[in-house]
Structure 1
Amino acid sequence: MEPSDGDVPVVDLSAAPGEHAAWDRPKSVIYLWSALELLVVYNPWQVSSSLRVKVLRLFGAEIGDGVLFRPRTRVKFPWKLHIGDRSWIGEGVWFHNQDHVYIGSDAVVSQDTFLTTGSHAHRRDMALITSPITIEDGAWITSRCVVLGGAHVGRSSLITPLSVIKGDIPANVIAGGNPLTVSGQRFRTSDV
C-alpha cells in the first residue's frame, strides 16, 4: 500500500550540513578565486587561453602543456582539477568539482558540458557526497553532456551530445543518451 502524502518524510534542510563541506582552503582563498574566476576564466571577453591556464595554475590546477581553455568556463575548485597535455576545454564547460576531476592528454570536453562530482544523501540529511571523475587520454565528451561523480570514461571513447555519463565507459566506444548506451567503436583496427 502506498503511503499517503502526509506519511512521506521530508528532509529538514535547515539541519542539513553546510555548503562549505567541500571547502578545503581558507575563506580568503575561496573568495579570491571566485573573483578571479569571474574576471579571467569565465569572462567571455577575455580571449587568452594561456591567461586562463596561468590563473588556474596559480590556484593549484595541474594543467599540461598546450591545453586550450575557452571562455565562459567555470571551475569551482582549481586545486581539484588535473588536465593532461594538448587537451581542449570548450566554451561554457562547468567543472563543479567538489572532488577531483582528472582529464588525460589529447582529450576534449566540448561546449556547455557540466561535470559535477557532488551529490547529496537524499534519504538522510542532504549531506554532501563526492566522487572523482576520470576522463582518459583521447576521449571526447561532446557538447552539452552531464558527467556525474564516479564516472570513468575510457581511452579514446566518444560520448554523443546531450548524454548523461555515469559509471564506467569502456575504451574506444561511441556511446550516448540517457541511459547511456554503446552504439559502436570509435576506431576500428583498419583506422589505426
Structure 2
Amino acid sequence: MILQGNDPTTGASFTLGNRLQRQLWQCVWLCLFRPSPRPLHAWRAALLRLFGARLGPHVHIYPGVKIWAPWQLSVGGHSGVADGVTLYNMAPIEIGAYCVVSQGAHLCTGSHDYNSANFQLVAHPIVLASHVWICAEAFVSPGVSLAEGAVVAPRSVVTRSLRTPWTVYAGIPARPISTRTRHGTAPD
C-alpha cells in the first residue's frame, strides 16, 4: 500500500488502487455515513462492512468518526467509537470487545522516518485489548498496544505500548497513575 523509496514532493505515497479505494470511501462517508442520524448504528456498520471493516455485534460507531481506511479496521462486540474520533489507520487498528474510544481521540498508525532521505512514510498497527477506554482527546501513536482494561486519561499521549492490565494511564507521555477495579465488566 505505501510506496517505498518514492519522492513525496513529486509523486504519490500510495498505490493508485489504494488512492481510488480511499476516494470512493470518502464519497460514501460524506454522502451516506456522516449525515446519518446518530441512532442508526446498524446503517453505519453496514457501510463499514461493505468496505471491509470487521465489526462484532452491537458496535456503535457514531457519524462524526473519521475513518481513513475501513478495510484496516476491526472492532469487537459491544464497543463504541464517539463523534470526533479520528481513526487514521494506514496500518490496521484493532479495537477489542467492550471498548470505548471517546470524543476527539486520535488513533494514528502513520508517521514518517525522519532519518530517511525521502522522509519515508511508515505505518504500524494499533491494538486495544478488550475493556480499554481511550478518554476524550487522547492521542495513541503508531505501533502501540494497550493491555486489557487499560484507561488512557483525557488529553494523554501514548507513545509506547502500555502492557499492565487494568491500569489508568495519564500524561504526556502517558504513565501509570492508578489501578482500575475489574468488577462489573461484561464477559468476553
TM-score range (shorter-chain normalised) is 0.7 to 0.9
Q: 2:83 aligned with 1:88, yes or no? A: no
Alignment correspondent of 1:159: 152
Q: Distance in 1 between matches of 2:45 and 2:107?
A: 18
Opposite residue 50 of structure 2, the aligned amino acid is L
The structure carrying a bigger helix percent of its residues is 1
Opposite residue 146 of structure 1, the aligned amino acid is F
> Which of 97, 103, 113 is the equivalent residue of 2:95?
103
Shift of 1:191: 7.4
Q: Distance in 2 between matches of 1:191 and 1:49?
A: 25
Q: 1:163-182, CA deviations, whole angstroms, 9 ceiling, x for partnerless residues?
A: 11122212110011101110
> Which of 34, 37, 40 is the equivalent residue of 1:46?
37
Opposite residue 108 of structure 2, the aligned amino acid is T
Contact 2:22 2:68 in 1 (8 A): no
Q: 1:138-189, CA deviations, whole angstroms, 9 ceiling, x for partnerless residues?
A: 010010011111111110111100011122212110011101110111116x
Opposite residue 113 of structure 1, the aligned amino acid is A
Q: Distance in 2 between matches of 1:32 and 1:119?
A: 23
Opposite residue 179 of structure 1, the aligned amino acid is P
Opposite residue 9 of structure 2, the aligned amino acid is S
5 Å matches for 1:10-25?
Answer: 14=9, 18-20=12-14, 23=15, 25=17
Alignment correspondent of 1:76: 68
Opposite residue 76 of structure 1, the aligned amino acid is W
Contact 1:40 1:51 in 2 (8 A): no
The DSSP-based 3-state class of the residue aligned with 1:187 is coil
Shift of 1:100: 0.2
Shift of 1:130: 0.7
Contact 1:40 1:46 in 2 (8 A): no
Shift of 1:26: 4.9
The structure with the largest alpha-carbon Rg is: 1
The DSSP-based 3-state class of the residue aligned with 1:40 is helix
Gaps of 5+ in 2: 1-6
Q: Distance in 1 between matches of 2:16 and 2:161?
A: 28
Aligned length: 176
> Which of 177, 180, 187 is the equivalent residue of 1:183?
177
The DSSP-based 3-state class of the residue aligned with 2:42 is helix
Q: Distance in 1 between matches of 2:148 and 2:54?
A: 20
Contact 1:66 1:87 in 2 (8 A): yes
Alignment correspondent of 2:129: 136
Alignment correspondent of 1:112: 104
- Call closer, same or farther: CA 1:13–1:83 in 2, change over 3 Å: closer
RMSD of aligned residue pairs (Cα, Å)? 2.1
Q: Distance in 2 between matches of 1:180 and 1:118?
A: 19
Q: 2:54 aligned with 1:62, yes or no? A: yes
